[in-house]
């Protein structure tokens, strides 16, 4: 009986989070309609995350990413400070 209680205590938070996420997504679906999710690129930080996409936008494709084209904000600030 103790083993089943321990297993239940370990699994319960995961089950609750899964149910909460499902209810939250269902409410969003009812109010906003179908959503498209994809990889979104944040130019300010140079990172990606999964998020909702607007109807007219495309998802970020890592295979098409050119790291040489990324302008790192920290390195440019440091370079600008060195010039001054």
What is the pTM (predicted TM-score) of this model? 0.50
DSSP 20: H
25-63 confidence digits (pLDDT tens): 899 889 888 777 778 777 788 788 887 777 666 665 667
End-to-end CA distance of the chain: 71
Tokens of 16: 């609750």
Task: State the Cα angle at 10 between 8 and 15, rounded to 5°.
Answer: 75
Residue 83 above 70 pLDDT?
Answer: no
Give the Cα separation of 79 and 84 in Å (integer): 9
Looking at residue 3, its pLDDT comes to 94
Looking at residue 49, its pLDDT comes to 80
8-22 confidence digits (pLDDT tens): 999 999 999 999 999
Tokens of 58: 């495309």
Give the Cα separation of 75 and 64 in Å (integer): 23
Q: What are the φ and ψ backbone dihedral angles of 50, each rounded to 5 degrees?
A: -85, 130
């Amino acid at each position: 009986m103790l083993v089943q209680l321990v297993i239940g205590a370990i699994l319960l938070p995961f089950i609750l989070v899964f149910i909460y996420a499902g209810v939250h997504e269902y409410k969003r679906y009812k109010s906003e309609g179908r959503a498209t999710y994809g990889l979104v690129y944040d130019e300010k930080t140079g990172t990606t995350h999964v998020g909702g996409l607007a109807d007219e936008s495309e998802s970020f494709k890592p295979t098409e990413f050119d790291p040489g084209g990324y302008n790192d904000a920290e390195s440019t600030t440091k370079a600008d400070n060195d010039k001054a």
